[in-house]
Structure 1
Amino acid sequence: MMKVTRPLSYILGASMALALHYSPASAAGAQSPDPAAVKAVTERFAADLAKGDLQAISRLYTDDARLLPPNAEAISGRAAILAYFEKILRPDLVGGAQFDHYEIYGGANAATSISQIRMLDTNGHVVERGRQTIVLLKQNGEWKIHRDMWSDTSPANTGNP
């Protein structure tokens, strides 16, 4: 099952990025998103995570946002996202996150950000590496996460069960 899921998540992320990048608005020369403003969303996520402020993290999402975690069903809505994060991003388990190697696509009101992510334990050691693809929408002049999908970049298990 793992062999199918990882390539599928990469394909979905690439498809979302290409769809936004080559949308008719982009082809018509619409304004590109401000990369610094788009990056600031994940930087706020990392700063809030380092403080253990999961409520603040949940406010980075649109009301009808969806998380698309690996090997799990979609989590829909800000309240459900907060409940999910309260289980997996507890301050006693996760110390923070670092994002880099951004690719940003889109227009003035919708963007896709693809980045590398490193999850840190409470001592600041890297415990997981992965990629994140988020689709952001601009609402009331502020970028909000509308879709959030990530995968790990651990070597695939090639052994037989």
Structure 2
Amino acid sequence: MKKTALYFGIFLAIIMLSVSCVQQSADVSKDIEKANKAFIEAFNQSNPDAVTACYTSNAKIFPANSKIIEGHEAINKYWSVGMTMGIKKVILETLSAIGYGNIAIEEGLYKLYADNDQLIDEGKYIVTWRKESAKWKIERDIWNTNSPSVATKYKTCENNFIAQLAASINFAKSKKVNPVEYGKYIGSLHANGWQPKDKDHLKYFMDGYKWNMNLFKNFRMETLEQSDSMVKAKTKADWTHLSAGEKFYGVDSVEMNEWLKAAWTVIADHLNLDYKQEQDGNWIVFTVSKK
């Protein structure tokens, strides 16, 4: 009898301990909306550092048509590119946010705009938040677009970065600005973030070039010549396959190539490098060399 009572007491204690360890769920929508407000303000002010500060140090983001991007440095680069490629405003709408202790799961909707409030993308997202030092920060971030029609119509251009590039060029046209000049302007803004820690600016440029261009779907690069002072290579991505006269969001491949050429020329010059680019069929052939 005593053994039975002892076993029952142990069993009851285990049950009570298990129940006490279960985190009770709670609606934390207001807190998450406040955290999202900080993200939105940072993004709309084109401040990638402040955007990155909204993520935990071990955060991961899962963009469509892209590899997993992990850590502050990579996330900072990702959003920096998005800002310089024409995304000027983001709107986030929290549908629900349920907290479990220091963890919260949010479901929501997003909209991305270019200048003059031109909508370039909208979709849905799920974010896992973690509370650190009494502040909610993003730990996992995944989203996808609601616009499959773009991928259907342009089967060789299933990439939102191409849409953003086209939106940037269209914005320049709407303001009666030469897209090439606008590409130089964007390049100058982007160049400020290129701060090599070592003296090999050529390698730094090539690493950055591959990282940025790899954001475009089916990016390929082949090195043609290489030395300590120069690299000649050819690249292509989905938009380079557009046939003559075919346009993506009203922009053809020639305009996209000229825009990118202008931007890369400015970035290379910032690193004391020369950048030359020409078209060879579906390939972009470029040479970057030390001055």
Deviation at 1:29, TM superposition (A): 5.8
Task: Give the corresponding residue for 1:61.
Answer: 55
Shift, 1:108, TM fit: 2.7
Give 1:122's match in structure 2, choosing from 115, 126, 133: 115
Flag the structure with larger Rg.
2
Task: Name the residue aligned to 1:131.
Answer: 124
Counterpart among 145, 148, 151 of residue 155 in structure 1 = 148
Asked which structure has the greater RCO (Cα within 8 Å, sep 6+), the reply is 1
The separation in 2 between residues aligned to 1:63 and 1:28, in whole angstroms, is: 26
- 2:67 matched to 1:73? yes
Residue 41 of structure 1, aligned match among 35, 41, 49:
35
Residue 110 of structure 1 corresponds to 103
How many matched pairs?
A: 136
2:136 to 139, 143, 148: 143
Give, as a single letter, the amino acid of the residue that structure 2 aligns with 1:94.
Answer: I
Q: Which has the higher helix share?
A: 2
8 A contact 1:103–1:115 mirrored in 2: yes
TM-score norm. by structure 2 comes to: 0.43
Deviation at 1:155, TM superposition (A): 3.3
Kept in 1: contact 2:28–2:104 (CA 8 A):
no
8 A Cα contact 2:104 2:128, kept in partner: yes
Counting aligned pairs with the same residue, the percent is 20
The amino acid across from 1:113 in the alignment is E
Which residue is equivalent to 1:96? 89
1:86 equivalent to 2:80? Answer yes
| Aligned structure 1 segments of 4 or more residues deviating by more than 6 angstroms | none
User: CA 1:63/1:29 → structure 2, altered by over 3 Å: closer, same or farther?
Assistant: closer
**8 A Cα contact 2:60 2:139, kept in partner:** yes
TM, length-normalised to structure 1: 0.75
